Structure 1
Amino acid sequence: MKEEIQAYNNKQAAVENEICDSLAAIINQQLPEAESKIWHAHPVWFLEGNPVVGYSKLKNGIRLMFWSGADFEEELLQVGTGKFKDASILYTSVAQVNLPDLERWLKKARDIQWDYKNLVKRKGQLERLK
């Protein structure tokens, strides 16, 4: 795991740290080709420069977000309310992290992507990549 992501995880309380460490390990394992870094103060993984998955600390838990998750057609992922194609799930304990679900979502994150990398260049218009 990258040092900066481990440092982010270590800043969390014990329960949230455990969730973050688990998520990072699974994401790194399932998306070994992804570049990971702290982006907008949160751990995010990119495929060819395009953000696909990340997590952040909220008041009531750790939110795992998929940038193109609205098109995954997954019941457990809550679709965002804005103009983007994001969807997320909130975890309050590591026991809630279901490995088969997460592996399936990460496969979809690779296979279903909207072009967030060029969002500014396209003046806010998203285009489907895959």
Structure 2
Amino acid sequence: MGYNKLRAGIRLMFWGGASFEEESLKQGTGKFKDTSILYSPADQIMEEDLKRWLEKARRIQWDYKNIYKRKGILERLK
């Protein structure tokens, strides 16, 4: 998980977020299964969504460490 401060607001990112199967998270490009959501005013943040995503981020893990060794193939851990 990470975030970026942008002019338009704060972008919250989840590197394995494509596995979360959440419609409100925007799919990233590429092979890293990343997703993000942009919040401009703070009152847009839905606490229940955020709690659910954080729980999924703890539970769903991908093996980014060995992606080079596997020639770009990303495997799920656990």
Same structural fold, with TM-score higher than 0.5 when normalized by the shorter chain: yes
Indicate the TM-score class for this superposition, using the shorter chain for normalisation: 0.7 to 0.9
Report the alpha carbon displacement of residue 120 of structure 1 after superposing the two structures with TM: 3.3
Q: Point out the structure with the larger helix share.
A: 1
Paired position in structure 2 for 1:75: 23
The equivalent of 1:95 in structure 2 is: 43
Separation in 2, partners of 1:121, 1:93: 42
Q: CA offsets per residue over residues 29-77 of structure 1, 9 Å max, x none? A: xxxxxxxxxxxxxxxxxxxxxxxx1101223221100110001011110
Deviation for aligned residue 1:88: 0.6
Aligned length: 78
Q: Which runs of 5+ in 2 are unaligned?
A: none
- The runs of at least 4 consecutive aligned structure 1 residues that moved more than 2 Å come to 117-125
TM normalised by structure 2 equals 0.87
Instruction: Provide the identity percentage.
Output: 69
Higher relative CO (Cα under 8 Å, sequence separation at least 6) belongs to 2
User: Do 1:57 and 1:63's aligned partners in 2 also have CA atoms closer than 8 Å?
Assistant: yes
TM-score computed with the length of structure 1 as normaliser: 0.55
